[in-house]
Structures are given as structure tokens and as C-alpha cells.
């Protein structure tokens, strides 16, 4: 995809990594196409050749690639191949959108400050998987989603923006997940816009928003 000629600013080149459904990727694409998000998706890369999002991306005219972990002897060699592939697209930001694979330290360090993720909980609560059921089991009254920079600590990097989603008494993990996902689609494009517009920056482990250190996440309500 290329930007229209009347844009004053260049588009932020990104590569999206995903493993499955890709609804966050679609939300980003929608924001580009419908809301003027100044981002160019140079490629979508999956660690699963059967990820449904790949055909969607192809139909949208975006380059896609799938790397199969079985073809690599180690996690390190897989991530090295992934990194080499990503770098051919020269992205300024690598966007994890449901990428269900642990990244090596080398990979994370290579993209320090240029690697971002969305996680379906109010971090630091409920890192890891099954966040919605765990929130229900814990009796949480508030749940949500967080966009954060990725560091070596799993789901532990600095959170930029999070959205609160109230838990209803009759929620199941499915109904809660659906309401959280709707909000994910709202906040991920917002953070990408901040980054693309130069408002969001990373300086040696410190997140800056509008030039000021971000000491706590920006908050939104559903």
C-alpha cells in the first residue's frame, strides 16, 4: 500500500506479526483506510501458515509471509530468520497483534523501543494467557486491555495506554472477551497514531509522550 500524494507527513512503516484471527490487524487497517491513520503496513508475518488473517491481508494487497517453527532447529534460529525477514521491510515499528509465540531476548533487544503489543488485561494484572477467565475467577470488577512496549519480561514492558472495561455479574469469559476486544480495536490504532505523529517515543527504556516521561499509563474507559 502506498500513501496518497497529498499527505504532508510520511507514513509510519510497520510490520505486523500475528498468529490467528487478526481482528486487531483488521482494526489497524480500517483505521488506515477510514480514519487517516498515517501508517503503512509493509507486511503481515505469521508463525502459522493457516492463520486466517493472512488471506485477508493478501486480499487487501499487503505482502504476507508465514514462517513455520518446525523448519527451524531452535527458537533462536527461528527468531533470527524472522528478524532478517522483518528487516527487509525496514519498519520503524513492529506491531504484535495476537502473535502467540515467546520472543527471544536477542529479538526483543534488536527492536528495543520499536516493538509494541496489545494484551487483554489491565497490566500488570493477568500477564500471560486466559486473562478473561482469570479476571472472572479473581472476582475483578474492572478488566480491560493494555498497549505496551515489549521488553524481555513477558507482558512486562512499559504500558502506554489502557482501557477499563467493567465486569458484569453475568459475564462469561466469552462475553467479557468480546467487550474487551471491541476496546482493543479502539486503543491500538490510537497508540499507533501517537507513534506515527512523533508524539510517542522511546529513549533508552523510558517512554515519552509529548516529550514528557510517561510515569503511568494513559487511561480510557469503555
Q: Which residues bind ligand GRF (CB under 6 A)?
A: 18, 20-24, 97-98, 118-120, 145, 181, 184
Beta strand ranges found along 62-141 (DSSP E): 64-66, 93-96, 115-119
Instruction: Report the interhelical angle of 23-35 vs 52-59 (nearest 10°).
Output: 20
- Cell numbers placing 5: 500524494
- Residue 213 CB, nearest approach to ligand GRF (Å): 26
What is the C-alpha to C-alpha distance for residues 91 and 17, in angstroms, rounded to an integer?
12
Tell me whether residue 23 or residue 104 sits nearer to ligand GRF (CB atom): 23
- Which helix (H) or strand (E) segment holds residue 218: the answer is strand 218-221
Nearer to ligand GRF among residue 152 and residue 182 (C-beta): 182
From the CB of 121, what's the least distance to ligand GRF, in Å? 9
148 is catalytic: no
Question: Considering the complex, what minimum distance in angstroms separates the CB of residue 4 from ligand GRF?
Answer: 27
**Dist. CA 139–CA 159, nearest whole Å:** 23
Report the residue number, 32 or 97, with the smaller CB distance to ligand GRF.
97
- Selecting among 65, 110, 119, 132, the annotated active-site residue is 119
Active site residues: 119
Amino acid at each position: 500500500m502506498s500513501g496518497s500524494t497529498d499527505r504532508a507527513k510520511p507514513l509510519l512503516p510497520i510490520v505486523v506479526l500475528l498468529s490467528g484471527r487478526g481482528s486487531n490487524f483488521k482494526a489497524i487497517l480500517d483505521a488506515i483506510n477510514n480514519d487517516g491513520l498515517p501508517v503503512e503496513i509493509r507486511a503481515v508475518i505469521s508463525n502459522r501458515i493457516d492463520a486466517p488473517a493472512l488471506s485477508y491481508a493478501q486480499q487487501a494487497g499487503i505482502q504476507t509471509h508465514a514462517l513455520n517453527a518446525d523448519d527451524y532447529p531452535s527458537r533462536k534460529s527461528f527468531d533470527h530468520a524472522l528478524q532478517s525477514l522483518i528487516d527487509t521491510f525496514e519498519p520503524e515499528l513492529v506491531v504484535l497483534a495476537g502473535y502467540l509465540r515467546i520472543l527471544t531476548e536477542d529479538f526483543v533487544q534488536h527492536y528495543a523501543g520499536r516493538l509494541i503489543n496489545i494484551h487483554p488485561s489491565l497490566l500488570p494484572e493477568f500477564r500471560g494467557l486466559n486473562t478473561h477467565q482469570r479476571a472472572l475467577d479473581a472476582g475483578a470488577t474492572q478488566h480491560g486491555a493494555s498497549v505496551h512496549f515489549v521488553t524481555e519480561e513477558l507482558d512486562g514492558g512499559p504500558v502506554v495506554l489502557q482501557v477499563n472495561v467493567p465486569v458484569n455479574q453475568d459475564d462469561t469469559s466469552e462475553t467479557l472477551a468480546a467487550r474487551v476486544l471491541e476496546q482493543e480495536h479502539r486503543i491500538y490504532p490510537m497508540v499507533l497514531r501517537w507513534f506515527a505523529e512523533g508524539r510517542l517515543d522511546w529513549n533508552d527504556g523510558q517512554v515519552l509522550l509529548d516529550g514528557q516521561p510517561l510515569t503511568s499509563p494513559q487511561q480510557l474507559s469503555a
